[in-house]
Amino acid sequence: MTFKTKALVVALAACSTSALAATNPTDARANAMGGVGVASGDYLSAGFHNPALAALDPDSAFGVLIPYIGAEARDPDDLVDGLDDVADAFDQKDPTKIESSLRAVQGDKAYVNAGIGAAVGIPTGSVSATLYTSGLIEGAVLPDIDTNDFNVTSDPNSNATIIAAGISELGVALATNLELAGQRVAVGVTPKLQRITTYNYGVAVDDYDTDDWDDSRYREEDNTFNLDLGAVWQSGPYRVGLAGKNLVSQDVDTVTSEVNSEKKHFTYQLEPQFTLGSAFVSDFVTVAADLDLNKKSAFKGTLNVDDDTQFFRVGAEFDAFGHAQLRTGYRADLEDNVDNAFTLGLGLSPFGVANLDIAASIIDSNSYGGSAQLAFTF
């Protein structure tokens, strides 16, 4: 991951702390296990994965998760740095460098996301609650190269676009346990407030500057209400869960950018996402798998963003008597728009009061991510 890519990730993370969030917020423990969580998560992660999780451990202590922070960048072709090289080549008016730098970025794409979250869990024997807030912003860098610019030194028709979207969330997961035909089933609901913010930064390649993408000129915002539903069946160590996220569909338009009389416009689509999960949970080992039942679409518009995803996730956790946890997992996109990733992580929980979790995802030599969180139980 190059310096410019890291800088863009940091900028996205800064935005997520102030007003933005993700369509699929998660936590460091889940990240280390490939992103599973619908059936294997705990009550502090109920707002992120499945509201029914809030009721699975009614005898647990009051808990606080603060903070969660994570980021991932996928820039296999060094596009972020490449666009800066294009701008520098035009500044130097060097025809050879202009052509080579434009060819280097032609057809490339880069994707980044970053986020933050916190939660307070109040498990009870009747109705359990987990209050949470989350933030993740997702972005894509898209060049649109005109081959006629290979022979010019000024006023290029080629342009570059950074589009990004985030959803800040504040909600409460409410859940209880039911007995159906002698089986325990936890059911839950999460009413939540959301702020959806979109960015559309489009400029000629000779004016491209990564630092300018979040200017207010390129930003639109919308406030809304949404709802999640979930259930988890548990029998001994076996669990099966189903979660429906963002059941109220939302479409948020970006601003329209105009470069050389060419207008670019996008719509961010937030649609219901249904995920089925299963898990084996014991004192010493947890094994879980999650499958998205429908694909998730994000941006549609003038340029082809290729950001539809539908994930299959598997993960495992090995627990050393409650004091330390070793985790690993694998994530695959059935739409083939996101490269498959191996994940790993470590948890430390001395005295059962403080819990520190770290995670990393390994995609390729220039695409990877990491996250960390701190939680306390009382």
pLDDT exceeds 70 at position 22? no
pLDDT in tens, 287-302: 999 999 999 888 888 7
- Structure confidence at residue 298 (pLDDT): 83
Helices (H), the chain: 3-18, 28-32, 46-49, 79-92, 95-105
Task: Average the pLDDT over 181-187 and give the result.
Answer: 91
Of residues 275, 368, 292, the one with CA closest to residue 335: 292
- Predicted confidence band of residue 195 (pLDDT cuts 50, 70, 90): very high
Spatial separation of the C-alpha atoms in residues 377 and 198, rounded to whole Å:
36
Residues 6+ apart with CB under 8 A from 294: 272, 273, 274, 310
Q: Please state whether the peptide bond connecting residue 25 to the residue before it is cis, i.e. omega within 30 degrees of 0.
A: no
Residue 147, classed as helix, strand or coil, is: helix
301-334 pLDDT tens trace:
877 787 789 999 999 999 998 899 999 999 999 9
Write down the pTM of the prediction: 0.91
Both tokens of residue 260?
A: 């050389």
Residues 214-230: tens digit of each pLDDT: 888 999 999 999 999 99
For residues 187-211, average pLDDT: 93
Helices (H) and strands (E) counted in the chain, each on its own, are: 5, 19
Q: Residue 70: CB partners within 8 Å, gap ≥ 6?
A: 26, 28, 31, 114, 115, 116, 136, 359, 369, 370, 371, 372
> How confident is the model over 51-59, as a mean pLDDT?
93
Task: Give the list of residues 6+ apart from residue 96 with CB closer than 8 angstroms, or none.
Answer: none
